[in-house]
Chain A
Amino acid sequence: MLLGNRVVFVDGVRTPFGRAGEKGAYWQTRADDLVVKAIQGLLARHSNLDPALIDEVAIAAASQTGDQGIVLGRTASILAGLPLTVPGYAIDRWCAGAMTAVTTIAGGIAAGGYDLALAGGVEHMGHHPIGSGFDPNPRFVSEKLVDPGALNMGETAERLHDRFPRLTKERADAFAVRSQEKVASAYAAGQIQADLVPVAYKAAEGWSQLSTDEHPRPGTTMEALRDLKTPFRPHGRVTAGNASPLTDGATISMLASEERARELDLPAKMRMVSFAFAGVEPEVMGIGPIPSTEKALKRAGLSLSDIGLIEINEAFAVQVLSFVDHFELDDEDPRINVYGGAIALGHPLASSGVRLMIQLARQFEERPDIRYGITTMCVGLGQGATVIWENPHWSAK
């Protein structure tokens, strides 16, 4: 259990996720501007809140150069028009950046260092392709510390298929199809748009506005996925169809001590129970959520059977399925990614952690019968991250 002050997730929003690259909506939009728009969109939902009460702004990015550089938390705060008295910093744990921003801020709140803060992340994978600017220490190779393939995420996913032969391409494709279906039905029910901040963007056709995610392909079928290329190996199993696509997007959340949230009449959409991070072999980074979840459950004194909702990042279908198998769940367990996940929506690396929380928070509101949920994700170079949340709407029945 988290000690000290109780920490609540007040609210979270995100930009619609755009396709990375020249054809994507955000090609001419700066990454830091995406953060700024998310921050302003979040604060617009709480217009009675005096922004001077924000004690900290933590923003994650995996690539902290160019339009994601210069201490994002600070620059984005200034650009968003927050009072200059509000401090900010940048943070990085690659894909779990935003999740780490949330846990680090939560730790600060629990310890009494903050009362109210913002935590989020951004990744403009069009401007910052994975691997750009990498300069790995040659010792990784010379001392065989890490297989060179460990820096290629698709290759680590293929390795998972190797390690667990039960994880077949068919299971991965089927999971991917369901992710697309769930996103389509969540969109139809208005469950996703409700937490999106529309973003105006400039393209060859002039200004336009993105108010929904660009990636989802509703109506995706097994047949459509079957013959997709396997870019990471000849005759491999990982395809563009069962992996998350390259994406641009930003997320932001507001966290507070339960007491401050009550004083300021702010909502509390989730209550943090525990969190944990864990390391695994970098070559199979996708299994990271397994040990981190076990650790977080242990700290909370809970078991997976206590968990009613699981928001797990779908970097790759196979990596989610490794989690499913480990905890002896069904591939179609109704607790997993109720609104669908990153395979359909996209995975703008360091921003995805808060997207999981935004979706879990909305499900909590819809499901007062459920007490606990988790958000979890794998991290390149072999890590897992998990946060366990309690539903404040839980009806205790």
Chain B
Amino acid sequence: MNHYDSVDFSSLLALAQDEVVTHSYVSDVTLTSGKVLALVTLDNDLDYKRPNTLGPKSLLELDEVLKNQAGRAARGEIHAVGVTGKQFILAAGADLSRVREISSVELAQQMSQLGHRALGRLSKLGVPSFAFVNGLALGGGLEVALNATYRTVDTSAAALALPEVFLGLIPGWGGATILPRLIGLPKAISVVIENPLRNNKTMSAHDALKLGIVDVAFGPARFLEQSLEWADAVLTGQLRVRRNSPSALSRVFTWPVIARVARKAIASKIGEVPLSPYAALRTMTAAARGSIDDGFLREDAELARLISGDQFQASMYAFSLVQKHAKKPTGAPDKKLAQPVTKVGIIGAGLMARQFALLFLRRLRVPVVLTDIDQSRLDEAVTYIHRELEKLSGKGRISRDELNRLSALVSGTTDIAQFADADWIIEAVFEELKVKQDVFARVESVASPDAVFATNTSSLSVAEIGQKLRKPERLVGFHFFNPVAVMPLIEVVNAPRTSDVALATAMDIASKLKKTAVITSDSPGFVVNRLLAMLLGEAMHAVDEGTDFEVVDHALDAFGLPMSAFELLDLVGLKVGAHVLDTHHAAFPDRFFDSPNLHALAAENVLLIKDRNGKKRGFDPRAREIVSGGKNRQTGDQLLERVQVGLAREIQLMLDEKVVHSVEDIDLCMIMGAGWPFQMGGITPYLDRVGASLKANNKNFHNPPIRGVS
């Protein structure tokens, strides 16, 4: 018996009426030794596109099945229990499809308790349990395995991970307790906290084996057969499983210190706003002492708090944006209109042009021609691209054959006639209207009549750039974020005259480049730069008016952004920053600030004092000198509210002006283009929950607001 048996789960079950149930099928396998292993297969009876998930009904079925096996074990009918999944998938974790309907802390806690009740049985069967991790095992799926006595893994398993922290949770079905005791706290921190924070990195079977999460790995062709053979050897005592788990003594003595160091490292990376990493660290560290069951109780308490809180709801919203909304861009024309692209022309030979060339080569694998007025610059660019490709080959990212193929596809020429058969021509020249207008007009004289033109402008009007074109409808905005290879967002700018063909082609290319595309109108700053300009403009304005750098820099700590305002300015460059503020001020003088001080700082190129690793240590005294003299200081709280309300007001205006089609597009842009955190849900769930939306617009962006039950 376990203490979860007395919990009444009926209200939780009521939420699960339409759950896609993962069944627990049982079949007895007689092993070579004659011992009988009851093999449980988790299977929702759907194909691999709908992985097994564990909702309340699924968990209760598993619970019942395992309870029966415990009875059979007691009667001596079976000698072991195995758990495996349907083809390619053990389980992708808890079924989170209805978590927005969790209406109380108690119900939130039950999600944790039910998991413990079912999965916890794997260690209380009276006979050993074996998890045969035959494929994808995420979150609760991997926790099924962790609760078992022994684990084997298929070397071809797509991914193993405990991504809960990424979503604002902790692995609370035993993961946060069992894992550190199994592999030690430092490794558990890397799996439970660091991986989720590194773009939700997952583990391979090999990684899991090396970390000691699984006992042994077998190839896919006979994974289950070899696992059963191995289980038999363990059961008969022919084989002793050796593990490197920390002793109770070492846990108690070393973990508090390890946890303190880890806490500092996490705080310096992501600040202290997100709750889940610290909850995970706290729970794992506490597992140093006491029983596994004690740990389960701690997990219950933490999960109840997190599931019912604001950050998790915002994270779920953000996750769904990234997973689902991003794949169905709103306002996109019929995909069939997209023109095939068999050759790419790039105007320019600078850093941006080279980055474009590399990306287009790797993703489209078609000829890429760069053009510039200076052949030696072009030669340099092609040499640079060749070298970058060789680096990729050296790292094993592309094969030797692929290297040869891609290297042969890129060329640089001053002869613009080479663009005659390019279907997609993108410019990466100096951000000046006349330069862009002229270069496109010149290219149009040789380009094929159907070629689509794209501009990477971040601050100019796409319509104006196209003014000198005979066919301005062929021009579309295609705004990358730096670094091009890494940042996942492209703002595709649908200018008033942009044709559906050009727009569809741009969307098609963005998807082939494996980028998330959001369609925006042809308006200053599009989405990301407009909101960043609002934030930076307010920050610089506060400085201009005499507020200390430190006060301004910490005023927005409550957001939990990846970097502070001045770190961001430092990253994009003070000159560029000043230019961005100027353009937005020029477009919207009543709402956006420009900053004379920022120009002065840019002229001297002073702002931060940084250490050897480029980390901010403070502000340059010369910078303080330059900005001194303001007489209208703000407090941090005043600035925070100004920024919150300013953002809320601006976003509402953007929606009214139809810069994008929906508020979801805005949040998606801020997550993908600016790295704004899941716990804010991008930005609007946060603005709703702090009351800024009401103050600015007399209404919330989301109804009901995306927040916890508190």
Cα-based distance from A200 to B87 in the complex (angstroms): 12
A165 neighbours in B (Cβ, 8 Å): none
At the interface with chain A, which of B217-225, B318-326, B361-369, B563-571? B217-225
What separation, in Å, do the CA atoms of A149 and B86 have in the docked complex? 44
B32 engages A206 (CB within 8 Å): no
Considering the chains assembled together, what is the distance between the CA atoms of A172 and B84 in angstroms? 46
Q: Which of A37, A41, A206 contacts B39 (CB 8 A)?
A: A206
B25 within 8 A of A: yes
Q: B41-77: which have CB < 8 Å to A?
A: 41, 43
Residues of A within 8 A of B223 (CB): 200
Chain B residues lying within 8 Å of A80, measured Cβ to Cβ, are 221
User: Smallest CB-CB separation from B219: which chain A residue?
Assistant: A81
With A33-B221, A40-B222, A81-B221 in contact, do A200 and B228 touch (Cβ < 8 Å)? Answer: yes
A 32-54 contacts with B by CB, 8 A: 33, 36-37, 40-41
Q: Does B26 lie at the interface of the complex (its beta carbon under 8 Å from any beta carbon of A)?
A: yes
Any chain A CB within 8 A of the CB of B484? Answer: no
B5-40 to A contact mask, C-beta < 8 Å, 1/0: 000000000000000000001111110100000011
Candidates A202, A203, A204, A209; contact of B29 at CB < 8 Å? A209
Q: Report how far A199 CA is from B28 CA in the complex, Å.
A: 14
With a cutoff of 8 Å between Cβ atoms, the chain A residues found around residue B86 in the complex are: 202
Given contacts A81-B219, A206-B40, A207-B39, contact A200 B224 (CB under 8 A): yes
Give how many A-B residue pairs fall within 8 Å (CB-CB).
57
The yes or no answer to A79 lying at the interface (CB within 8 A) is: yes
State A380–B32 Cα separation when bound (angstroms): 37
Give B228's nearest chain A residue, CB to CB. A209
* Given known contacts A206-B43, A207-B84, A211-B32, A199 and B221 CB-to-CB distance under 8 angstroms: no
With an 8 A cutoff between CB atoms, is A198 at the interface? yes
Q: Are B225 and A37 in contact (CB under 8 A)?
A: yes
Which residue of chain B has its CB nearest to the CB of A198?
Answer: B225
State whether A207 touches B225 (Cβ < 8 A).
no
Residue of A nearest to B41 (CB): A206
A263 CB-CB contact with B under 8 Å:
no
If A206-B43, A207-B41 touch, whether A37 touches B221 (CB-CB below 8 Å) is: yes
A113 CB, min distance to chain B CBs, angstroms: 28
- The answer, among A199, A200, A206, for a CB contact under 8 Å with B26, is A206
A37 x B41 contact (CB < 8 A): no
A26 → chain B, closest Cβ, in Å?
A: 14
Least CB distance from B558 to A in Å reads: 50
Out of A41, A79, A197, A206, name the residue touching B27 (CB < 8 Å). Answer: A206
Evaluate contact between A40 and B27: CB separation under 8 angstroms.
Answer: no
State the CA gap A205–B38 with chains docked (Å). Answer: 12
Using CB atoms, name the residue of chain A closest to B221. A36
| B229 CB contacts on chain A under 8 angstroms | 198
Q: In the complex, what distance in Å separates the CA atom of A81 from the CA atom of B30?
A: 28
For residue A65, CB closer than 8 A to chain B, the reply is no
In the complex, are the beta carbons of A209 and B224 less than 8 A apart?
yes
Q: How far is the CB of B174 from chain A (nearest CB, A)?
A: 23
Once bound together, how far apart are the Cα atoms of A204 and B25, in whole Å?
8
Contact A37 B27 (CB under 8 A): no
In the complex, which range does the number of interface residues on chain B fall in? 20 to 34
Interface of B is mostly: strand
Residues in A whose Cβ lies below 8 Å from that of B32: 198, 211
How distant is B277 from chain A, measured CB to nearest CB, in Å? 37
- B219–A207 CB distance below 8 A: no
Residues 221-249 of B at the A interface (beta carbon under 8 Å): 221-225, 228-229
Which residues on A sit within 8 Å (CB–CB) of B39?
A: 206-209
| CB–CB A205/B221 < 8 A | no
Give every chain A residue within 8 A of B27 (Cβ-Cβ).
203, 205-208
| Cα–Cα distance between A81 and B43 once the two chains are bound (Å) | 28
B-facing residues in A7-50 (Cβ within 8 Å):
33, 36-37, 40-41
Cβ of A37: which chain B residues have Cβ within 8 Å of it? 221-222, 225
Q: List A residues 158-213 near B (Cβ within 8 Å).
A: 197-200, 202-209, 211
Q: Mark B373-384, 1 if CB is under 8 A from A, else 0.
A: 000000000000
Residues on B with C-beta less than 8 A from A36 are 221-222
Q: Please measure, in the bound complex, the distance between the C-alpha atom of A33 and the C-alpha atom of B87, giving whole angstroms.
A: 14
How many angstroms between the C-alpha atoms of A81 and B218 in the bound complex?
12
Contact A209 B225 (CB under 8 A): yes
Bound together, the chains give a CA A200 to CA B43 distance in angstroms of 16
| Residues of B contacting A41 in the complex (Cβ-Cβ under 8 angstroms) | 222
Q: Which residues of B contact A211 (CB under 8 A)?
A: 30, 32
CA distance A211 to B87 in the complex (A): 20
Hey, which chain B residues are within 8 Å of A81, CB to CB?
219, 221
Contacts of B40 in A (CB 8 A): 206
Report chain B residues within 8 Å CB of A206. Answer: 25-27, 39-41, 43
Write the nearest CB–CB distance from B239 to chain A, whole angstroms. 16
> Complex Cα distance A202/B223, Å?
13
Q: A81-B219, A211-B32 are in contact. Are A205 and B224 (CB under 8 A)?
A: no
Question: Most A CB atoms within 10 A — which of B40, B84, B86, B224?
Answer: B224
What CA separation (Å) do A36 and B226 show in the bound complex? Answer: 14
- B228: chain A residues at CB < 8 Å are 198, 200, 209
CB-defined contacts of B41 to chain A, threshold 8 Å: 202, 205-207
- Residues on the A chain within 8 Å of B224, using CB: 200, 207, 209
- Using Cβ atoms and an 8 Å threshold, which residues of chain A touch B87? 202
B225 contact set on A, CB distance < 8 A: 37, 197-200, 209
Name the distance in Å between A250's Cβ and chain B's nearest Cβ: 13
Residue pair B25, A205 in contact (C-beta under 8 Å): yes
Residues of the B chain whose Cβ atoms lie less than 8 Å from the Cβ of A207: 27, 39, 41, 84, 224
- Closest-CB distance, A200 to chain B (whole angstroms): 4
Report B466 CB to chain A, min CB distance, Å: 52
CA of A202 to CA of B224 in the docked complex: distance in angstroms? 11
For A40, list chain B residues within 8 Å (CB): 219, 221-222
Give the residues in chain B near A204, CB-CB below 8 Å.
25
Which residues does B use to contact A, with CB under 8 Å? 25-30, 32, 39-41, 43, 84, 86-87, 219, 221-225, 228-229
Residues of A within 8 A of B (CB): 33, 36-37, 40-41, 79-81, 197-200, 202-209, 211
Pairs across A and B, CB under 8 Å, 17 listed? A40-B221, A40-B222, A41-B222, A80-B221, A198-B32, A198-B228, A202-B41, A203-B27, A204-B25, A205-B41, A206-B26, A206-B43, A207-B27, A207-B39, A207-B84, A207-B224, A209-B29
Ranked 8 nearest A-B pairs via Cβ:
A206-B41, A206-B25, A200-B224, A208-B27, A205-B27, A209-B29, A207-B41, A36-B221
Known: A79-B221, A198-B32, A208-B27. 5 other contacts (CB 8 A): A33-B221, A40-B222, A200-B222, A205-B26, A206-B25
